[in-house]
Structure 1
Amino acid sequence: MGQTVLALKDATLTLAGNAGPVEILKGITLDVAQGETLGLIGPSGSGKSSLLMLMGGLERATSGSVLALGSDLTALDEDALARFRRGNMGVVFQSFHLIPTMTALENVAVPLELAGVSDAFARAAAELQSVGLGARMDHYPTQLSGGEQQRVALARAAAPRPAILLADEPTGNLDGVNGAAIMDMLFGLRDRHGATLVLVTHAPELAERCDRVVRLADGRIVGEDRMKAAAE
C-alpha cells in the first residue's frame, strides 16, 4: 500500500439533538492508505455514515483532527472544503442525489465544468459509456431505473478522477443483480483510476471484497479485519 491519504486522530462528532448534544463518534483514530479499499461495517446507528461524512468534510469533527491528502479538513472553511472535495473526492450516496432537471450526461458533466475541465461533456460521455449507459445519456433521472441512476451517480463521482472515492451504502437501494453490477463498477473504478475507496455497507459480499474492514459500534471502532481474499 502507498502513503496515508486519510488520517483521523481522536476525532469526535457531537450533534445537537432534541434532548441535548448527542455523541455520534467517540475518539476515532484511523489511517487509510493510498489505493486501499476500506469497508466500514456495523449495526444501524453505529456511526458508519457519520465517519464517512467526516472523511469527506461533509461533517466537521467536533474535536480531534481529520487529514485528507495532508490537508486538515477541520481547519478549512466551507468554501475551501467545497474546493478541496471538488478537486480530490468523489462521493456516492445510497439515494443517488441526481439533479432531476438535468439529463444523465449533464449530471455527470456538472462537476467537471465546475472544475474547469475543457472537454467536460466528452469526458462525461466516456464515463457513462464505461458504466454501460451510452444509450441513456439524454434521459432524465425519472426515465432511468434505480440501477441506472446509481450508475449515473457513480460516473459523476468518478469523472473528475478523484484520489478518494467515498460510497455510502452504494448498493442499499438496489436488487441483487443491480447491486452486484454496481459493486463490480466501484472496484473497476478503483482499479482504473487508482483511487482509494472507502465504503459503508451492510452487504457481506461487498465487505469481503475490501482490503480491510473496520467494525463500528456505538460511535467507536471495535475491531478490524484484513480480508483474506484481498491478501491472497
Structure 2
Amino acid sequence: MAVTVPHPARDPIVRFADVHLDMASDAGMVNILRGISLDIAAGEITAVVGPSGAGKSSLMMVAGGLERATSGRVEVVGRDLGPLDDDARARLRRDHLGIVFQGFHLIPTMTALENVALPLEFADRGDAFEAAQAALERVGLGHRLTHYPAQLSGGEQQRVAVARAFVGRPKLLLADEPTGNLDGATGKQVMDLLFELARAEGATLILITHDMALAERCDRILRIADGLVVGDERMPQALAAQ
C-alpha cells in the first residue's frame, strides 16, 4: 500500500497527488510510479533513496516536467504541470528549476563560462556572462572561465554543472546521483557545495542518492520501492530547526 506523506508546515513547492507513470517496453506496459502522493516544502532538502529500478529517477523527471505523469496531479512552484505543453514546461524549468545529473551534460564546444551563461541567454538576460562569471567564482572556478570541458577534471566539470544549475537562482534544485562519476573525496566536495548553495539561497533540493551517509545529511529521507513511497523520515537536524 502506498504511504501518503503528511503535508509539511511550510507551503509545498512540489506536490504529487496519486501520481502514476506508465511507460511502454518490449515486455509491454511498465508501471513505474504506482500512486505517489507527497508534499515537499519550500526550502527543504530531501533525499530520495531506494533500490535500482524503484522509480527514484522517474519521480525526479516527473517533478522536473521532463516526463509527463500518466495520471494524477503534479504541482511544481504552484503550477499544475498537467495542462502545460512542452514549451511551457521548458519555460518553467528555465525560470524556476535547476537540474544536476550524474553525467555533467556540458556542451563540449563551449567554455565553462559559456556553458553557465547559456540558460540566462535563453532567458534574454543582458547580464548573462557577468552572472555566469560570478557563479563560477562562487564554486571556486573563477580561474577556469575560458577552459573547455575536456580541459577540466570530473570534479571541475560537475562544479560547472552546479554553477549552471544555480545561476538563475532557482526555487527548486533536482540532483540525480550528482557524485556518481566522481571519486569519494571529490564527490564530498561537490555535495558540500550543493548543500551550502541550497541553504544559502533558500532553495528546495531533491537529491537522489544511494549513499545513506549523504542522505542522512538531508532534512528528510523518502524511501521509494516498486514505484511507491514506503517510508518518510525527518532527520534530527530538521526537527531541531522547527
Q: Common fold, TM-score beyond 0.5?
A: yes
1:143-201 residue CA offsets vs partner (Å, 9 max, x unmatched): 11111110000000000000000000011111111111111111111122111110100
Mapped to 2, the partners of 1:180 and 1:174 lie a distance apart of: 9
1:87 to partner: Cα distance: 0.4
Matches within 5 A, 1:210-225: 210-225=218-233
Question: Residue 204 of structure 1: CA displacement?
Answer: 1.5
1:100 is paired with a residue of what secondary structure?
Answer: coil
Which residue of 173, 181, 186 corresponds with 1:173? 181
Contact 1:209 / 1:230 at 8 angstroms: preserved in 2?
A: no
The answer to whether the 8 Å contact 1:208/1:229 transfers is no
Q: Secondary structure at the match of 2:143?
A: helix
Q: Distance in 2 between matches of 1:115 and 1:36?
A: 26
Q: Does 1:142 align with 2:128?
A: no
Q: Give the secondary structure class of the aligned counterpart of 1:153.
A: helix
Equivalent residue runs for 1:98-177 within 5 Å: 98-177=106-185
Tell me how far apart the structure 2 counterparts of residues 139 and 2 of structure 1 sit (CA, whole Å): 42
- Alignment length (residue pairs): 232
What is the Cα deviation at residue 129 of structure 1? Answer: 0.6
* Equivalence for 1:45: 53
2:16 aligned with 1:8, yes or no? yes
Q: Distance in 2 between matches of 1:138 and 1:74?
A: 40
- Please name the residue that 1:81 is paired with: 89
Give the drift of 1:70: 1.5
Letter in 1 for 2:35: G
Q: CA deviation at 1:231?
A: 2.6
Match of 1:25 in 2: 33
Shift of 1:56: 0.3
Q: Does the alignment pair 1:183 with 2:200? A: no
Which secondary structure state, in structure 2, belongs to the residue aligned with residue 221 of structure 1? Answer: strand
Deviation at 1:2, TM superposition (A): 2.9
Q: Secondary structure at the match of 1:39?
A: strand
Match of 2:5 in 1: none
SS class of match (2:181)? coil
Q: How far 1:75 sits from its partner (Å)?
A: 1.4
State the Cα distance separating 1:205 from its structure 2 match.
Answer: 2.0
- What residue is the counterpart of 1:91 in the other structure? 99
Report if aligned partners of 1:13, 1:26 keep a CA contact under 8 Å in 2: yes
Encode CA deviations 1:50-89: one digit per residue, 9 max, x unaligned. Answer: 0001100001000001001121112110000001110000
| CA deviation vs aligned residue, 1:75-129 (integer Å, no higher than 9, x gap) | 1100000011100000000001111110000000000111121111011001001
Which shifted more, 197-206 or 59-68?
197-206
SS at match of 2:196: helix
- 2:67 aligned to which of 19, 37, 59: 59
Q: Percent identity?
A: 60
Distance in 1 between residues matched to 2:148 and 2:239, nearest whole Å = 41
Distance (whole Å) between structure 1 residues aligned to residue 213 and residue 79 of structure 2: 33
| Structure 1 ranges of 4+ moved more than 6 A | none
Q: Could you list the runs of 5+ residues in structure 2 that have no partner in the other structure?
A: 1-8
